[in-house]
Structure 1
Amino acid sequence: MRGLVFILMIGGMFIGCNSTKKVIEPTAKSEALEAMIAKKAFKIESDWMYPLATTSMNVIANSGLLPPGSTVNGISLIGNPNYIKFYGDSIAMDLPYYGERQLPGQYTRNEGGIKFKGIPDRYEITKDENRLQHMIKFTVKHNRESYRVTITLYPNWTSSININSTHRTSIRYRGTVSILTPNDGLVTN
């Protein structure tokens, strides 16, 4: 009986170790995304944000201050203007923020969100050839605060944005990618 159990365990290990990497074939849509990234002329608009669930966020949720259909784990941004725009070597970013401030900072009445306009530091783009995903990493500074941003662009033109701040708890956004048009109102520095 022990011999049978041993053979089943060894067989299970071979089956479990026999994993294959899934390779996604390029499509017209994924190739268009590739060209758009190469031109550095695109924008991302987020539909959802996912703040870090903390005690303070639970207090906000319990007080009814979240938008309809939202929870402390996922806040709808539908109808709330937000963006990250890439144009050449510059980036313009205006994202709402729910979460906790860890260090004192300079909030003005109109600047509670994450804002930046200019040339980022440490800008890097990598591509996962098997999954056709692009990862963009950069850091930016606004006033005294610094943000480390990681964006994953998927071949179906959706995005995931992770932002870590020196002054706030981290936050994640989910949205869509689109072509940057002249109507997007870019202002160069």
Structure 2
Amino acid sequence: MDVFILIIASYPVAVFTSLLLVVVIYWLIAILGLIDIDTLDLPEIDADAELDSLEGLTGVAGFLIKLGFQGIPVMVILSLLTLVAWWTSYFCVWLLPFALNGIWKLVLGTAILITSFIFALLITRFLVIPLKPLFRKNTARSKRSFLGQAVVIRSSRVDEHFGQAEFNDAGAGLILNIRAKTPNQLKKNDRVILLEYLEKDHVYLVIPERDFY
């Protein structure tokens, strides 16, 4: 156990350990319904769009889209990427038959850091790209007319900027992003009706079920 703690807390594994903690915290908060799951989702890009149309995208979103990750939830990508990179860097350090100090430790650690990230990126792409049709199917389904259906609020509040609800589809359930006018008395576990779908923001406008009938 001492060796394990020492490795995950040392460079370069500590970099991915920190990122992994952030990912775990994010999913815990998402499970509690305190943030929208797709808050960080990539912008939708037409499958037939030319590469030139992506030149204006910068940062992480542009990088992921150019690698073909559009249509896949960002946190799914980042979670898998971080986990694979963490394991790769951990075992690289653990399997090294020698120990280095000073500048050489920094050089070797940086090499492991970069190699682990590239390897994780390739593995992540290999694993999630074949699943893209499944994510497209779920997205298309959420955009179909659920209007008039009742859903149950799963977030702590619902206002013009935040809100989540669960639609019981006789399966695992579908999580929808919802919005409502304020002030209101909506709270977790209340039932609301889906009134309108806002394509641009990918959210549903809702009203209390008692006000619908």
The two structures have a TM-score, normalised by structure 2, of 0.21
Q: Higher relative contact order by CA 8 Å / sep ≥ 6: 1 or 2?
A: 1
The two structures have a TM-score, normalised by structure 1, of 0.23
Q: Which has the higher helix share?
A: 2
Q: Which has the higher strand share?
A: 1
